[in-house]
Structure 1
């Protein structure tokens, strides 16, 4: 597009065709320059046509430029283009992307009254369907799909793909199976896009075997279909299967991008496979996307979790741009590799840079680093900075981390004070942490208190009684230890199962 723009700027007197070409070129890549050139076109007193307006509306929707979208809508009404094959669906889509779903629905209802050709009507229906799906109006979307299916309008690959994605979002297994049947009867099962979403659906529903079966039956396997299946395998913990698929993908000379590499790097990190991570790093360097933010962060995380913290630090230092995710990854990596001092130094550098501010996950990483090193004062300071200076609200994970730090240091009064000041009720993890700290310091009173809360939260778990039994035993209080063992045994006792006949009797 930069070369196209340079050529456009050399035209002495651009006409409508050249303006439309440059505008739609930038619109296709969702670049705001499309809006800049449409303003220039309007200033030059050229009349904007259907092609110009549809591209501009698409860009306004993607970039959430609702104000300009409304101006374009006014222009469309003045010129009499309202409700045409090109501008009608584009307007519905634009308002939906800008979050104005009610207005998109009103336009859709108004346009539906008019006389549309079959392709035009499907285009309008698909635009509304896309708005519902992207804004989480899943039930509305299903009603619209049912309405489309009951008419004579033939569903296309876009309609079916969106429908499958809605089924995934709602975890609607039964409806997903029905849509699959419809896809087969309409012959869309050979479509690459529909097939890729089908693979994703079955994998998300937990049926990797069915996903693999559909994948193997696809006449063409593009990057999206490979990535969907590999991603699902990693999410399900089937890392070896993900590696096998990735190797097959490479052997077929399929295109590889930074996204699929990031997914495979997560699989390497999950099983601490450093050699595989190094090979993946070499692939990134060869492919030229080593320094892309998503790939870089994944590699830093991979090396950190595989014990290669030096390589992770080297990657971080050489990064041309460091976003919050990148900073968070290296800080957390230093923390769980025992490099607490470096984690704290990096955190301070991040604060001083003022380019990228730490978020809740960054603070969880630095607090975890302090926990591993037993740094109470530093952790308390960071916890205060998080709330007072940056205005971030601690989650249950942050509180649990702080309670663990204070408890391990034997500061039980401070830990209990923190628990009482929490905006919500303490969960099982916090009281388990207090029970663990009580065991370390052989504090029966705190152990009893923690066990009391654990008993109220989860009555069917015996682990707390066993832990407190060990505390009694360490203090040679054998009666208390035996009593806790009896309680643990009582919790583990379950009523024998009964048959349906016995229940009726």
Structure 2
């Protein structure tokens, strides 16, 4: 009678009464191997039933299903306790495999490492399946060292094991190690599958400085053609992405054209490649051929158009079209369209975009706030830029740099330097490479030579930011504007690196400003040695300097040299907007 009652209660899932009733049965040797346990609900808290049973009862076959069921209740710690107490697991590899898989799928896979420690203590020799599960577990825990130990300990290294290990190395950015495993796999005579090819193609896009990394795409492409690997959509997408990111857009287009079904991911990648090369017509062709468009493919077109003033207006057209097709702009869309407004110097359209942005969750994003500040500064709307800056809840170094640079370029050097001081004193923001350049430029325009020297010296000594050629050119410009040409010349001569054309151009411009013909000739000679054809403005600056000094013979000689070399300066022009007409 007691047996019947127990079986009924086992099926009823009344956990506490069940545990209380079963304690009286000892080892339950009289219980038949009934299947009532398999019908138990896997609801939260069920593992408490298993923990309530005495240790000896778990040796009975009727209670053994409780252990793997503890894993399915998403309470892995009690399951591990049972695991560590009962040797039954080691005689049932299926249960052990299921337990490891549950840890792999959980949010806290680290606890699964304890199972491995119990395996080592017990002397149990895991089979290939369990060893691979342990390998995956360590990869999930970002423990590459232990994962590699499991891999090296495999007697039968399957293609699956190789793929997991290669993928693990790539996720950690260790491209050389992953490619080393691929080479080892090829030497072993194992045939690569689509997943392996995809991993190698991914490695080719990481740009880690490995020799011939840019040719990996072509090598993999050749292997795919020769092998019988399934040419699925994922593999083609990876191949196109590899070609595009390595600048081989023509090869990517060849792969794209032979695809039976052209997905939007391939289209987006190809559009980005064409836009990077300036081939807008080809990008438009792919865009119009893409039937199932999404936000990302629209973003690729908008971002590509927004790079130049020539096509920036087209980005606005695409921006309007995507919304007419009921696609909502995301953060990338707003960043690109604000960039287009900067390129067009169209603050009116920028204000409309900002109004729309304020209705979205992205309005307080730092990146978009910095983009709005930059846009308003480039449009000369410094008050609007400062309003956006003041209303931002959070600012980073890029936000401060945009505002400082905007003040400096719009004729407010004092405000720029005050903001440069505030960002360090009040917000404890560390200036970066560009921040120092903006501050030095403000000093140059304000004629604050001593302040500029102070910032330049602090940059290297206090902030450990190595000055670039841009900073040296800015210092030469600052000294030259102040009329300290000899000091500027000495500064150039003491530079730790060979001055580039920007430095000599800054000195030449200062010489023209103050009529120093001899120094202008020296600066021009050095400039022409570095770049004789790419700086027509330097010839004009030297010619004007000579003309101001009345040296017309020298002007004529210089003009003849320009004609012989085919050098001509483009006519200067201004970009003016009125009533949305540019």
Distance across 1 between alignment mates of 2:104 and 2:226: 38
Q: Which moved more, 1:261-270 or 1:300-309?
A: 300-309
1:148 is aligned to 224
Q: Which residue of 1 aligns with 2:443?
A: 370
| Aligned match of 1:493 | 563
User: Is residue 230 from structure 1 mapped to residue 230 from structure 2 by the alignment?
Assistant: no
How many residues align structurally?
460
Where does residue 71 of structure 2 map in the other structure? Answer: 15
Output the CA distance in 1 between the equivalents of 2:417 and 2:386: 14
* Cα 1:102/1:444, change in 2 over 3 Å: closer
Q: Which has the higher contact order (CA 8 A, sep 6+)?
A: 1
Q: Does the aligned pair in 2 maintain the 1:465–1:484 contact within 8 Å?
A: no
The question of 1:88 aligning with 2:141 is answered no
SS at match of 1:133: coil
Structure 1 residues 372, 44: CA separation in 2 closer, same or farther (over 3 Å shift)?
same
Aligned mates of 1:446, 1:248 — CA distance in 2: 56
In the other structure, the counterpart of 1:214 is 286
Structure 2 counterpart of 1:163: 239
Q: CA deviation at 1:277?
A: 0.9
Cα 1:253–1:463, aligned 2, differ >3 Å: closer, same or farther?
closer
**Residue by residue, what CA displacement relative to the aligned partner does 1:95-130 show, whole Å, maximum 9, x if unpaired?**
1332433321232234457797x9x81112211221
Structure richer in helix, relative to its length: 1
Task: Mark the structure with the bigger radius of gyration.
Answer: 2
SS in structure 1 at match of 2:564: coil
Q: Which runs of 5+ in 1 are unaligned?
A: 1-9, 26-33, 497-505
Tell me how far apart the structure 1 counterparts of residues 73 and 194 of structure 2 sit (CA, whole Å).
Answer: 28
TM-score under structure 1 normalisation?
0.81
Alignment of 1:327-476 (within 5 A): 327-353=400-426, 355-459=428-532, 463-464=537-538, 466-475=540-549
Q: How big is the shift at 1:193?
A: 0.9
What is the RMSD of the two structures over their aligned residues, measured on CA atoms?
A: 3.1
Aligned position for 1:121? 193
TM-score w.r.t. the length of structure 2 is: 0.71
Partner residue, 2:172: 98
Provide Cα deviations, 1:237-292, integer angstroms capped at 9, x if missing partner: 41011111111011111132111211111110111111111111122211110111
Q: Which residues of 2 match residues 282-293 of structure 1 at below 5 A? A: 282-293=355-366
Find the aligned partners of 2:528 and 2:244 in 1 and give their Cα distance.
37
Q: How much has 1:419 moved relative to structure 2?
A: 0.6
**Aligned equivalent of 1:240:** 313
Cα separation, partners in 2 of 1:469 and 1:88, compared to 1, 3 Å: closer
Q: CA deviation at 1:444?
A: 2.3
Give the distance between the partners of 1:443 and 1:385, measured in 2 at CA: 31
User: Contact 2:243/2:251 (CA < 8 Å) preserved in 1?
Assistant: no
Describe the superposition over 1:121-158 as per-residue Cα deviations: whole angstroms up to 9, x where unpaired: 11122112212322452123321222122212133333
State the match for 2:182 in structure 1: 108
1:501 maps to none
Cα pair distance change 1:101/1:383, threshold 3 Å? same
